[in-house]
Amino acid sequence: MFAGAQVSLYPMTDGFVDVILSSLNALDPWRNQLRIETDDISTLIVGPPEVLFPALRDLYASAAATGTHVVLRTTLSRGCPGEPDDPICQTGALANPEEPLASRQQSALAAIAATPEKGQVADVQFSLYVMGAGDHMAEIVGCIDFLKQSGTFDRSKNFCTRLTGDAGPVFATLQQAFCQFGPPNGHVTIDLTVSANSPSKR
């Protein structure tokens, strides 16, 4: 299995380079479990979902704590048939394919309840895509049903769903959406935007 994310931070300030560089320190506790490569558009972070989502949460929370209007943008993927298996991605976090949807929804809700808060609000917009064989709309509808019970659900929009709340439970919700829905050997992606300190909200 191959899993990871292409990640970008967009701080809406003249000092955007400083905000990006200082926020990257938040990845330090996770670096030994990830492979990280940067170019001029995004940073590739390869690793298992149970490391990837907390690392993204900490990166976001660090950038948000600067008080700047900043957006974290990520393309997450697991199981892409075009990518090679990678030992660093080995994970026990993906749902058992034999488990019914209702039971997977309950596990996902329990995981959110067990997640501590981070002290930073995260306004999220995301789309979950399930590719390949099987009934991809049944999995997406099951996931939306879980999201509505998650405590972080804000509203549905065209093409995407909005979440809001503390970054702890919000990123836990995203991790559960990514891991519990769609087959464990399937190709699942998330197109994710997380916004902090937007003046449009004030």
Q: 96 Cβ partners below 8 Å, 6+ apart?
A: 184
44 is in an annotated binding site: no
User: Given candidates 87, 92, 116, 199, which one binds a copy of itself under the rule CB under 8 A?
Assistant: 199
Segment 41-70, which members bind a copy of itself (CB under 8 A)? 41-42, 44, 46, 69
From residue 67, give the alpha-carbon distance in Å to each of 12, 22, 27.
Answer: 11, 13, 19
Element (H, E) at 59: helix 49-64
163 is in an annotated binding site: no
76 class by beta-carbon count within 10 Å (0-12 exposed, 13-18 middle, 19+ buried): buried
User: Given candidates 127, 151, 183, 184, which one binds a copy of itself under the rule CB under 8 A?
Assistant: 127
User: Given candidates 62, 120, 125, 150, which one binds a copy of itself under the rule CB under 8 A?
Assistant: 125
From residue 75, give the alpha-carbon distance in Å to each of 10, 13, 46, 148, 188.
Answer: 14, 23, 12, 23, 11
Segment 101-120, which members bind a copy of itself (CB under 8 A)? none
From residue 120, give the alpha-carbon distance in Å to each of 12, 132, 179.
Answer: 18, 36, 24
Binding segment (CB under 8 A) for a copy of itself, from list 50-58, 107-115, 122-130, 177-185: 122-130
User: Given candidates 40, 87, 98, 116, which one binds a copy of itself under the rule CB under 8 A?
Assistant: 40
Q: Draw the binding track, 129-168, toward a copy of itself (x: CB under 8 A; -: no contact).
A: xxxx---xx--x----------------xxxx-x------
Measured between alpha carbons, how far is 80 from 85 in angstroms, rounded to an integer?
10
- Which of residues 109 and 162 has its CB atom nearest to a copy of itself in the complex? 162
107: its two tokens: 């596990």
> Cβ distance 112 to 165 under 8 Å?
no
Q: Which residues are annotated as a binding site for thiamine?
A: 9, 43
Task: Give me the residues that bind a copy of itself (CB under 8 A), please.
Answer: 2, 4-6, 8, 10-14, 16-17, 39-42, 44, 46, 69, 71, 73, 75, 77, 80-83, 123, 125, 127, 129-132, 136-137, 140, 157-160, 162, 189, 191, 193, 195, 198-201
